[in-house]
Amino acid sequence: MRNTTQTGLASPARMGPTGDWAMVSGEDLLRADVGDLLGLTCATATTAGDLPWDGARGSQLATLRHRNVHPELTRALAEQIALGALGRDESRVIPTRVEVEHDVRAQALRVHVAYMPRTTGERNVQTVTVGAS
């Protein structure tokens, strides 16, 4: 039987015990991928996106961190953008709740994502900071 367990780079990126990049799998890989997805900027009609090989992957959350005219509207829009990115680009999870804190002073968004991996159905909560940390 072939091993179908996926592995990928740890996020945040760090060196592993062998002196090479640290690799993760399972739930750790899923958490890394969700965090990377929400932190990446996707392509728009006028921008290329962060990933040259997949410009559509990601979200536009980073563009909202500078908006402070209507904080409630910014938070609501950020929640919809995060849900849309997860629904479009991350088929391994079912997002159940997204809450956003907008730190205008630090020009950052803290996105709290609750989701269930399709493989386990267990509830996970993860916080992703977009912008200055």
What digits encode the pLDDT tens for the residues 32-57?
899 889 988 888 888 788 888 888 88
Higher pLDDT, 67 or 30: 30
> Is residue 125 pLDDT above 70, yes or no?
yes
Say which DSSP state 14 is in.
-
Query: Which strands sit side by side in the sheet containing 124-131, from one edge to the other?
Result: 93-103, 108-117, 124-131
Long-range (24+ apart) CB contacts under 8 A made by 28-34 are 30/92, 30/93, 30/117, 30/124, 31/124, 31/126, 32/8, 33/8, 33/90, 33/92, 34/86, 34/90, 34/93, 34/113, 34/115, 34/126, 34/128
pLDDT digits (tens, 9 = 90+) for 60-104: 888 887 766 678 888 899 899 999 999 999 999 999 999 998 887
Q: Return the pLDDT at 96.
A: 92
Q: Identify the band that residue 1 occupies on the pLDDT scale cut at 50, 70 and 90.
A: very low
More confident position, 11 or 79: 79
Classified as helix, coil or strand, 20 is: coil
Q: Would you say residue 116 has pLDDT above 90?
A: yes
Segments making up each domain of the chain, as ranges: 7-131
Taking 50 as the threshold, does the pLDDT of residue 2 lie above it? Answer: no
Instruction: Kindly calculate the radius of gyration of the chain based on its CA atoms and give it in whole angstroms.
Output: 16
> What pTM, to 2 d.p., does this model score?
0.81
* pLDDT at position 51: 81
Binned at pLDDT 50, 70 and 90, residue 117 comes out as: very high
In terms of Cα–Cα distance, which of 74, 15, 52, 69 is closest to 60?
Answer: 74
Residues in the chain: 133
Task: Give the number of other Cβ atoms within 10 Å of residue 3's Cβ.
Answer: 6
User: What is the CATH code of the structural domain delimited by 7-131?
Assistant: 3.10.450.40
Distance between CA 48 and CA 55 in Å, rounded?
Answer: 6
User: Pairing state of beta strands 108-117 and 124-131?
Assistant: antiparallel
Share the mean pLDDT of the chain: 85
